[in-house]
């Protein structure tokens, strides 16, 4: 079975766009692949946070991942810092990637240009990410265009190491993620729904209550026309509502057009469909946070399973290098 690795940082609240665009495909894919999902809290250190914030967000994110449907008995869900082999292999990765390669990473250039303090961790981020991927003998890494360069440098490191020390690492390949809904901001339907938006009025958080969801959909931006049709280019607002309604109800958005002649009912139905979709997720999320024992046990199982694979890979790498083994 193909092993697939997907990771997520605990850097903020999960919103509807994250869920429909990425997490829902993760849930579906866990039954088709040997799925590993990491909450990469070590990567979150590249953003300055107060003590305790990363840990609190990790708990909340883990609860949300299980609430949306990841099954601890099917997928391997783990916290990065719970598997120490990530940090250990990262140093090996740093010693097998050049300064020039790291300097050319687009994300480093973009992020460092916006910060006063640029940490060494931000610069060597791709080395830790390479360790994340190679530790698990990963076959496929689903990534968007913005992350493809990181998989390519991981491939280069793996090939370089294998050439120097002998066949050790599985060389992963970047793949296009399983198609999820492309959810846009309700106030600016030409922009993806994002927590970095100037206003939260167009953002549906996974924990928004029913009245807030209804209010946000009622105020969703459409256009000055009156006809309902699915055309993302010329009618982005209406198309976004159809996209969300379709994703929430399991119907292709274009198939929903015939049921509407006005924008008001479409907004209302989209809002109600999202409420119906999120209500059981919110209930499961709250149950998991109320019973931290269950959540901790699931993460422990994931870390144990991940640790078994990671330890074997690290030992293989250390042996290939020729470190003194006890």
| 166 Rama class: left (phi>0) / alpha (psi -120 to 50) / beta | left
Catalytic residues: 111, 192, 195
CA distances from 88 to 72, 80, 92, 282 (A): 26, 12, 7, 37
Q: How would DSSP label each residue in 109-143?
A: HHHHTT-SS--HHHHHHHHHHHHHHHTTT-SEEE-
Please give the C-alpha separations between residue 294 and each of 26, 63, 72, 80, 171, in angstroms, as whole numbers.
21, 10, 11, 19, 35
Say if residues 158 and 134 touch (Cβ distance below 8 Å). Answer: yes
Residue 103: C-alpha distances to residues 86, 116, 165 (Å): 22, 18, 25
Helix (H, G, I), strand (E, B) or coil at 185: coil
- Sheet of 76-79: strand order equals 76-79, 34-39, 3-8, 140-142, 173-175
**How many Cβ atoms are within 10 Å of 28's Cβ, its own excluded?**
12
What is the rounded distance in angstroms from the CA atom of residue 78 to the CA atom of residue 185?
A: 30
Q: What's the CA gap between 205 and 219, in Å, rounded?
A: 16
């Amino acid at each position: 079975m193909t092993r697939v690795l997907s990771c997520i940082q605990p850097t903020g609240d999960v919103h509807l766009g994250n869920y429909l665009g990425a997490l829902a495909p993760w849930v579906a894919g866990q039954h088709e692949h040997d799925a590993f999902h990491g909450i990469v809290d070590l990567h979150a250190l590249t953003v300055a946070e107060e003590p305790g914030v990363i840990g609190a967000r990790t708990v909340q994110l883990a609860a949300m991942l299980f609430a949306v449907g990841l099954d601890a008995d099917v997928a391997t869900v783990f916290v990065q810092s719970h598997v120490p082999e990530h940090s250990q292999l990262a140093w090996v990765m740093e010693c097998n990637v050049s300064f020039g390669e790291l300097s050319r990473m687009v994300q480093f250039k973009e992020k460092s240009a916006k910060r006063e303090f640029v940490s060494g961790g931000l610069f060597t981020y791709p080395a830790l990410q390479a360790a994340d991927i190679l530790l698990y003998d990963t076959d496929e890494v689903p990534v968007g265009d913005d992350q493809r360069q990181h998989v390519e440098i991981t491939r280069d490191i793996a090939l370089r190491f294998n050439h120097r020390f002998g066949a050790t690492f599985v060389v992963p390949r970047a793949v296009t993620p399983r198609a999820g809904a492309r959810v846009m901001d309700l106030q600016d339907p030409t922009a993806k729904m994002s927590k970095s938006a100037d206003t939260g009025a167009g953002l549906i958080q996974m924990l928004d209550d029913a009245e807030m969801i209804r209010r946000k959909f009622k105020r969703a931006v459409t256009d000055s026309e009156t006809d309902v049709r699915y055309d993302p280019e010329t009618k982005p607002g209406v198309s976004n509502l159809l996209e969300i309604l379709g994703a929430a109800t399991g119907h292709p958005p274009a198939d929903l057009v015939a049921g509407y002649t006005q924008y008001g009912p479409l907004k209302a139905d989209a809002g109600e469909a999202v409420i119906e979709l999120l209500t059981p997720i919110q209930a499961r999320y709250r149950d998991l946070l109320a019973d931290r024992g269950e959540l901790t046990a699931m993460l422990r199982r994931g870390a144990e399973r991940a640790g078994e694979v990671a330890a074997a890979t690290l030992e293989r790498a250390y042996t290939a290098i020729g470190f003194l083994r006890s």
